[in-house]
Amino acid sequence: MRRVAVLAVVFVVVCVLPAVAQVRRGQLLPAGENGLVDLDSPALAREIAAMRAEIKANGWTFTVGVNPAMRYTLDQLCGRREELLPPEALDRGPAIQSVTAMARKPAPTPTATPTPAPGLDPYYIGIFTPPKDQGGCGSCWAFGTIDEAETAVLKSQHAPVGKVNTDGTVTASASTPDMSEQYVLSCNDLGYSCAGGNNALAMLVGEPGSMDEDCFPYQAADLACSYCADPTRWKLSGWAYLISDTKIPTVAAIKQAILTYGAVTAYVYVDRTFQAYTGGVYNNTKTYRYTNHQIQLVGWDDSKSAWLLKNSWGTGWGIDGYMWITYTSCRVGEGAAWATY
């Protein structure tokens, strides 16, 4: 009997501990009737409390809490997939090699990213459209791609810069153009999907370009490529990485690109504290070896030593869909890229 009892205890420990660990990572939190994480669950409340204790212990300066993005797992939200790139696109050489590899069709040679000018302003907000919501599909790469395409069009139209209001909220430059993320998600020939992808700006250079949201509305699903008969089209004239898909440019280089092109799309590593972010300056000091999420950097503030980051998790996340993140946090800026129209 004693041996049976011991074996039973061992069985319970072996089976329960992994489950507890996964609850801590937010993977097996209680689901509501819709199959998403129950935002009112005590398990989620305990996880938020643990995050707050970690933030306090590390002296970090941001806040966390329950927000709509917490309904999903990180696997559902973070769709950066370097392994889906063709080998040539990982070349550490000039950006044009990656452009050619990812385009899979002749693409115009992009002009060189400008050399950072001395004496850049300590504060600048660029040109961008408002945040959208990717839902539970790992299509952050499509949203980051479209964000940059929309910025390129606005820049060509001499749209006003956005602004940070006195109450801390952010006002975008304009709400249009509103391009279709579903088109990029469903009609790319790169194998990118809700299971993940990477920067797809090459798809939008030249013919056929992007199309309007109304022609192929976003459904957060891997739909067949099918859209309206006469879409409004925008054809990018070029794009490039500042360095490559897997390198982090200098802060000065990213600033110069934002100043020149309006904003840049880039990658960042997202953990649960990032997902639960509600305000302040995100200054996570943990070291990560790779990135898992595509976003857009739309401005900077040297008094905060931080970028203004635009996300794709809706306006219920962060500061109405934005975040202040320090220049050195979580590999932010990796794969920074710009586009022109």
Cβ(131)–Cβ(314) under 8 Å?
Answer: yes
From 198, 284, 292, 311, active-site residue: 311
Cβ(263)–Cβ(151) under 8 Å?
Answer: yes
Instruction: Tell me which H or E stretch contains 145.
Output: helix 140-156
From 140, 194, 215, 330, active-site residue: 140
Structure tokens at 246: 């897997």
Q: How far is it, in rounded angstroms, from Cα 250 to Cα 325?
A: 15
Instruction: Tell me which H or E stretch contains 272.
Output: helix 272-275
Catalytic: 311?
A: yes
Cβ(264)–Cβ(231) under 8 Å?
Answer: no
What angle separates helix 140-156 from helix 251-261, to the nearest 10 degrees? Answer: 60
Query: Of the candidates 333, 275, 253, which has an alpha carbon nearest to the alpha carbon of residue 68?
Result: 275
From 215, 283, 293, 330, active-site residue: 293
DSSP assignment string, 169-201: -EE-S-S---B-HHHHHHH-SS--BTTBB---G
**Which amino acids are annotated catalytic?**
140, 293, 311
